[in-house]
Amino acid sequence: MFNTLFGIIIFALDIWAIAMIIGSNETTAQKVLWVLLVVLLPVIGLLIWFFAGPRPAK
């Protein structure tokens, strides 16, 4: 039960991170690299993006 809940939470956070990356002011190439990082390494990529990734456009 815990593993399923954890997986759903990580999945939702990854989708949110990808949406924020797409809405950022970065170049398309940088967006693709960030999205690949989040998709290929869901937990670690999410943490790296959270602390060092592009911020959404204001």
Half-sphere exposure of residue 3, counting CA atoms within 13 Å on the CB side?
A: 0
Provide the CA 24 distance to its chain's centre, in angstroms.
Answer: 12
Tell me the whole-structure pTM to 2 decimals: 0.89
Quick check: 53 pLDDT over 80? yes
In the structure, what pLDDT confidence band is assigned to residue 56 with cuts at 50, 70 and 90? confident
Q: According to the model, what pLDDT value does residue 35 have? A: 97
Between 55 and 37, whose confidence is greater? Answer: 37
In the structure, what pLDDT confidence band is assigned to residue 38 with cuts at 50, 70 and 90? very high
Q: According to the model, what pLDDT value does residue 11 have? A: 97
Q: Are 21 and 54 in contact (CB under 8 A)?
A: yes
Residue 58 lies in a domain: no
Domain extent, residue 28, equals 2-52
Domain count, the chain: 1
Residue 14 lies in a domain: yes
